[in-house]
A = this chain, B = another copy of it.
Amino acid sequence: MQASFDGHSKFIRQLETVSRLDEDDRQALRRLPMLTRRLDANRDIFREGQKATDCCVILSGVAARCKMVAGGRRQIVSFHFAGDMPDLQSLLLDRMDHSLTALTAMQIGMIPHDTIRAASRLRPNLADAFHRQALVEGSIFREWVANVGRRMALERVAHVICECFERMAAVGLTTSDSFTLPITQSDLGDATGLSNVHINRTMQTLRKAGLVTSQGRVHTIHDWKRLRDTADFDSSYLHLLPQVTA
């Protein structure tokens, strides 16, 4: 464990993709104490049923929120990248209803609940920002229900790719047409409700159609417009604010 400094700017930037903050808000967030931790891949950061005393911020790597269903089947309900705070809910709900798993080696920061509560009591705009974050998350889950419930495999996979790209782009984790999403095809399957075998075929279809190619963990989108069309993707459910470019 060690103190982190620019970990703060990562989650502040993330928050600002969805909520307007002023300089005082940012100051208050920067003052939150944060201890950093390293994690190996495939480690659980927290498990279903647990209580938490801290919120975690992802500093690097990729995590997934997972739910287990009868028979050991796994459903991934969201992916999280640098800047995300995947367990903000633990501030208000005492037991986790899912687990958070590191899909890669990663670095996370821990911020004590009471310091976040104090900050948002002092600055209601921060409380609103966290509330909004929860609402946007809800909107994304709704889209996932529709994705898994009513879209064909190809659209489904393409949709998840579009979403990851857009969300990563919003916090500067992409280049113009490619991004690093170091997850396995099985993970993608657990996120889309498909088998890993079928994910493989679907990725091949996307590749042959000249939409997305992947070398290792780096994925390149060759035709954003056509990918969006086949994915039936409309980013408005992400509720991203128009960014004032620096």
A165 is an interface residue with CB less than 8 A from chain B: no
Q: Contact between A142 and B93 (Cβ–Cβ < 8 Å)?
A: no
A7 is an interface residue with CB less than 8 A from chain B: no
A83 is an interface residue with CB less than 8 A from chain B: no
Residue count of chain A within 8 Å CB distance of chain B: 46
Q: Contact between B142 and A142 (Cβ–Cβ < 8 Å)?
A: no
Q: Contact between A139 and B73 (Cβ–Cβ < 8 Å)?
A: no
Closest to A193 in B: B149
Q: How far is the CB of A103 from chain B (nearest CB, A)?
A: 17
A208 is an interface residue with CB less than 8 A from chain B: no
A136 is an interface residue with CB less than 8 A from chain B: yes
A89 is an interface residue with CB less than 8 A from chain B: yes
A239 is an interface residue with CB less than 8 A from chain B: yes
Q: Contact between A97 and B149 (Cβ–Cβ < 8 Å)?
A: no
Instruction: Report B-chain residues with C-beta under 8 Å of the C-beta of A239.
Output: 93, 95, 97
**Contacting A145 at CB < 8 Å: which of B77, B139, B237?**
B77
Instruction: Report B-chain residues with C-beta under 8 Å of the C-beta of A148.
Output: 145, 148-149, 193
A92 is an interface residue with CB less than 8 A from chain B: yes
Q: How far is the CB of A27 from chain B (nearest CB, A)?
A: 22
Instruction: Report B-chain residues with C-beta under 8 Å of the C-beta of A69.
Output: 146-147, 150-151, 155, 232
Q: What's the Cα separation between A136 and B89 when bound, in Å?
A: 9
Q: What's the Cα separation between A132 and B137 when bound, in Å?
A: 13
A80 is an interface residue with CB less than 8 A from chain B: no
Q: Contact between A75 and B139 (Cβ–Cβ < 8 Å)?
A: no
Instruction: Report B-chain residues with C-beta under 8 Å of the C-beta of A144.
Output: 141, 145
Instruction: Report B-chain residues with C-beta under 8 Å of the C-beta of A192.
Output: 149
Instruction: Report B-chain residues with C-beta under 8 Å of the C-beta of A49.
Output: 236
Q: Contact between B75 and A236 (Cβ–Cβ < 8 Å)?
A: no
Q: What's the Cα separation between A124 and B146 when bound, in Å?
A: 34
Closest to A19 in B: B92
**Contacting A142 at CB < 8 Å: which of B95, B97, B193?**
B97
Q: Contact between A138 and B149 (Cβ–Cβ < 8 Å)?
A: no
Q: How far is the CB of A139 from chain B (nearest CB, A)?
A: 5
14 sample A-B contacts, Cβ–Cβ < 8 Å, listed by A number: A49-B236, A70-B155, A74-B150, A89-B135, A92-B128, A92-B131, A93-B136, A93-B239, A97-B143, A98-B139, A127-B127, A127-B131, A131-B134, A149-B192
